[in-house]
Structure 1
Amino acid sequence: MQWITPDLAVLLVSDPKRGVQPSGERLKVMTRGAAWVWFKEGMVKHRMAVLLLLCLVALPCCSWAQDESGGEDDPAITSSLGMPLSFPLNPTHQYAGLGLGVSTGVGYNLDRHNAFVGEFMWNWLFASDRALEPFRVALQSNNVSGHGNVFAFTANYRLELRGRTGGIYFIGGPGWIYLTASLSRAIPQGTPVPCSPIYLWWGYNCADGPVITNSTSVHSSAGAPGLNGGIGFTVRTGEAPYRAYVESRYYFAPTGSVSTKLLTFTVGIRY
Structure 2
Amino acid sequence: MHINNVNEKTSLQSIVALSILCFIVTAVFVSIYSFSGVETYSVSGFFEWAVTSFKAVCTGDVEDKVLMWILFVIIPVGLYVCLLWSVISRNVALREFNSKLNLKSVDLLQDRINFNFNKSQYNFACGYGEVNNLEMVLKTMLVHTKYGTNIVLKQITLNFTVLNNKNFSLSNTPVAPMGLIYKILEYSRYMNNFSYKFDGAGVSEDYREKIENYLSQGDKTFIASSKENNMKWASILFFIAGLFMLFASKDFAIITFQDGYGYWIILMPFMLVIVSFIFDIILIINSINKNKFRGYNG
TM-score by length of 1: 0.26
Structure with the bigger percentage of strand: 1
Structure (1/2) with the larger helix percentage: 2
Q: TM-score, normalised by structure 2?
A: 0.24
